[in-house]
Amino acid sequence: MKKFNSKLDLALLLLPVILFLQPISAIDFVFNGFNSSSVSLYGSAIIESRILTLTNQTSFEIGRALYPTKIPTKAPKSSFVYPFSTSFIFAMAPYKNVLPGHGLVFLFVPFTGIQGSSSAQNLGFLNFTNGNSSDNHMLGIEFDVFANEEFSDMNDNHVGIDVNSLTSIEAADAGYWPDNSRSSSNGNTSDEDSNSFKEQDLNNGKNYQVWIEYEDSMINVTMAPAGMKRPARPLLNVSLNLSDVFEDEMYAGFTSSTGQLVQSHKILAWSFSNSNFSLSERLITTGLPSFVLPKDPFYRSKVFIAGATLMLQGQSLNALDERLKARGEQFDEGEVERMLHVGLLCAYPDSKVRPTMRQVVKVMEGNNELGEIESEDMDTCLLQQMKSKDFWSSYSQSSSHGLHPTFDEIRRYNSSSMSLSWSNTVVEGRFSVASLEEAAEVGRIKIQ
């Protein structure tokens, strides 16, 4: 009895200390699947089969979901930012025959709703005019699958830390450092280490788990395929003082957008804690639904998908993403179109030899210096040759309205000029005719 009392006394004595150390009203939650009370939904976001689906196949859409109440993030009248640890599982599910975009952001934001944000490359996070203002009080961790020059994006598959702006303060290729990589212990980055980095395609439909932790003005971001143990070495480990970024209380959640490029952005599970950095261990990371499209080489060809999508719509330049449109003055529209069709025809089943979207964009932008294009030059070279062979002008001579071929027209157009174009390019013999035909649903194109 005496023992019990002294224990109780000790507890009472320590109570104020415990209260002081613990963030006041610290928030802990674990959602293995979502229901209508887990999060508030804005824009196109819905909960379907317990999966938080931020966007679907509708273009130029914003979907956002926030924890229903504000989360205390900073000690009142103080610069002390509460530590936090959050983990979630996301999937970016591509649609068949559609060029996928744009990405998702884990965010802290002072308000509910989606005002002040735009779709497409703005990721439903900010818009074209309000970037860079410290009045935004927004932190985002972006998972971005399109390279936007205006935001200095490093590539079309990266993770970035965004403070009040879509121009990341720090970004890295999406992926993870396996635990056996040398530098996981001593921070030493050698060539050997760089080779061990496992890049992951953010939008291949796979489920990825993300861990974001903040304490003492350090933030780290780690990602890995769902089901894998958390890699010891984070992808990003950055010094960041959130004291002036955060208000005392913030909403936390996810936002994402589609543009002309569309994919479904999904969150399958989410944990958050101010006090227990192990809470993410309670996320169920296996046995989850998969959003990977059935294996088909053509889904992997972004250029093909772009071309096919646009052509199916009977459109070309006007259906191109906002980003390309915005640059429309810089080049001849006809040329863009020609290059898109060239891209369509370059739809290789083998991802190693097909041109990438970036190359096509580069060529379209008139960045024709082969030297600047560095690697992957073989495909770029092919694109250049296609252009110089003037394939599309010969095409246009034999079609009714020149530069706007539809599937029907191409079906009717069985071209000898085409085989002429291919014959002296470096890729001769590598084309899979059968697959190209099947892919294009053109069926009758013959490449001899």
In angstroms, how far is CA 307 from the centroid of its own chain? 21
- Helices (H), ranges, 124-211: 183-186, 191-196
Contact 161, 219 (CB under 8 A): yes
At its nearest, how many Å lie between ligand NAG and the CB of residue 90? Answer: 18
Residue 444 Cα to chain centre, angstroms: 36
User: Quick one: 46 or 381, whose CB is closer to ligand NAG?
Assistant: 46
- Our finding on whether 220 is near ligand NAG (CB under 6 A) is yes
The tokens of 66 are what? Answer: 């926030």
Does position 262 interact with ligand NAG (CB under 6 A)? The reply is no
* Candidate list 40, 59, 97, 130; residue touching ligand NAG; CB under 6 A: 130
Among 5, 49, 129, 375, binds ligand NAG (CB under 6 A): 129
Round to whole Å and give the CA distance between 142 and 153: 11
DSSP state of 309: H
Answer yes or no whether residue 227 interacts with ligand NAG by CB under 6 A: no
Q: Please, which residue, 131 or 227, has the CB nearer to ligand NAG? A: 131
Residue from the set 69, 132, 313, 351 that interacts with ligand NAG by CB under 6 A: 132
- Residues in the interface with ligand NAG (CB under 6 A) total 49
Contact set for ligand NAG, span 11-70 (CB under 6 A): 31, 35-38, 44, 46, 56-58
Which are the contacts of 423, defined by CB distance < 8 A and separation ≥ 6?
Answer: none
In whole angstroms, what is the distance from residue 385 CA to residue 428 CA? 13
Count CB-CB contacts under 10 A for residue 6.
Answer: 10
Residue closer to ligand NAG by CB (options 420, 426) is 420
Q: Is there binding between residue 322 and ligand NAG (CB under 6 A)? A: no
The residue assigned the tokens 């930012």 is 81
Task: In whole angstroms, give the CA distance from residue 21 to residue 112.
Answer: 29
302 near ligand NAG, rule: CB under 6 A: no
Using the minimum distance from each CB to ligand NAG, give the nearer residue, 121 or 380. Answer: 121
DSSP 292: P
Should residue 217 be labelled a site residue for ligand NAG when binding is judged by CB under 6 A?
yes
Q: Tokens representing 280?
A: 């993410």
Asked if 211 and 87 touch (Cβ cutoff 8 Å), the reply is yes
User: Between 131 and 297, whose beta carbon lies closer to ligand NAG?
Assistant: 131
In angstroms, what is the minimal distance from the CB of 446 to ligand NAG? 8
User: Could you tell me the smallest distance in angstroms from the CB atom of residue 31 to ligand NAG?
Assistant: 6
DSSP class of 229: P
Radius of gyration of the chain (CA): 25
Which residues ranging from 182 to 201 are in contact with ligand NAG (CB under 6 A)?
186-188, 190
Among residues 40, 59, 127, 406, the one that binds ligand NAG under rule CB under 6 A: 127
In 3-state terms, what secondary structure has residue 314? coil
For ligand NAG, the binding residues in 407-426 under the rule CB under 6 A are 413-416
Q: Which is nearer to ligand NAG, 31 or 348 (CB)?
A: 31
Query: Comparing C-alpha atoms, which of 145, 149, 153 is closest to residue 367?
Result: 149
**Binding of ligand NAG at residue 167 (CB under 6 A)?**
yes
* Closer CB to ligand NAG, 6 or 25, in the complex: 25
Minimal distance in Å, beta carbon 314 to ligand NAG? 20
Helix (H, G, I), strand (E, B) or coil at 282: helix
| CB-based contact 413:395 (threshold 8 Å) | yes
Rounded Cα gap, residues 95 and 150, in angstroms: 27
Q: Which stretch binds ligand NAG (CB under 6 A): 168-176, 194-202, 212-220, 420-428?
A: 212-220
Binding site for ligand NAG (CB under 6 A): 31, 35-38, 44, 46, 56-58, 79, 116, 118, 127-132, 165, 167, 186-188, 190, 213-215, 217-218, 220, 232-234, 237, 241, 243-244, 276-279, 281-282, 398, 413-416
